[in-house]
Amino acid sequence: MGDNKNIILKGTLSTIMGAICWGFSGACGQFLFQNYNLNSNWLTSIRMVVAGIIMCFYMILKEKKEFFNIWHNKRDSIQLVLFSIIGLMLCQYTYLTAIKYTNAGTATVLQYIGPVFIMIYVCIVSFRLPEKREVIAIITAVIGTFILATHGNIHSLVISEKGLFWGLASAFSMMLYTLIPSKIISKYGTVKIIGYGMIIGGLFLSIITGIWNINVNLDFLGVIMVGIISVIGTLVAFSLYLYGVSVIGAVKGSMIASVEPVSATVFSVLWLKSSFGVIDFIGFIFIMATVFILSKK
């Protein structure tokens, strides 16, 4: 009994630490945008490629020849490429761009509207109307976004139009990122699919944006921050979170992962001196409430 409690505690703490790593990674992205005026195309591409190489190298050592099995199935390989580009790459790019135009806390909270988009999609493909709690979740998300964007004044925006656009785009791409790979993840494993997705998506974005033409001036601290985003915010965060979910379950894991926007906001305020008012936190609460409403059985 005691061993079981210890395992559950370890799983819970791992999930929390994974979420905090994601939040800290977002704050590091904000730091880079504020102090180095980095291009989000460049940062997204480098983050994805570096993280993908590390994850794939680990899986090659673990699986050897089996690592390449997905390419023997045409349908699965096409799904992987689609996930890499319109799922993972789009999700990473829109999120970092939202941070650039707002801050880590606001961008992360806006991304958590994603579950509402997923719910709406499920209702459409299932040809059914939303249940009562799902309607409440939609209303809650809309109210939270309205408060966050306008502070209650319908005639003005308190965050930039670009910030609001990329934040909502991040939430929408989170839906694609979640729905597209479900079959191949269950068949080949999460780490392998995310690793492949990071490399493919990162290389695709690098090529179409020509990141070799982007002027980047980073000192030692800047390089360290890029490394933290690539390794701590991806490899370490995913590893901790996935272990935690394997112990405590997906529902509890997704709810505990709500620590991510909290940690991103705390780092943004204490470290990067971002300013939030009471009205902002009310908006945060409304949006984050949707996660708990939709997680309830």
- pLDDT tens string 48-75: 999 999 999 989 998 888 899 999 999 9
Report residue 271's pLDDT band, with 50, 70 and 90 as the boundaries.
Answer: very high
Q: Give the position of tokens 């996660």.
A: 291
Q: Under a CB-based contact definition with an 8 Å cutoff, are residues 49 and 199 in contact?
A: yes
Report residue 155's pLDDT band, with 50, 70 and 90 as the boundaries.
Answer: confident
Instruction: Mark out the alpha helices in 151-217 (DSSP H runs).
Output: 161-179, 182-188, 190-209
pLDDT at position 2: 56
Condensed to tens digits (0 to 9), the pLDDT of residues 179-222 reads 888 889 889 988 899 999 999 999 999 999 999 999 999 999 99
SS3 (DSSP) at 132: helix
- Is the confidence at residue 251, as pLDDT, over 80? no
Segment 246-267 mean pLDDT: 84
Q: Under a CB-based contact definition with an 8 Å cutoff, are residues 11 and 247 in contact?
A: yes
pLDDT at position 249: 77
What is the sign of the dihedral through the CA atoms of 95, 100, 101 and 102?
positive
Rounded CA gap, 257 and 100, in Å? 23
Rounded CA gap, 21 and 242, in Å? 13
pLDDT at position 5: 78
State if pTM tops 0.85.
yes
Least confident residue range of 173-177, 243-247, 270-274: 243-247
Residue 194: both structure tokens together: 């995310």
What is the sign of the dihedral through the CA atoms of 112, 113, 115 and 117?
negative
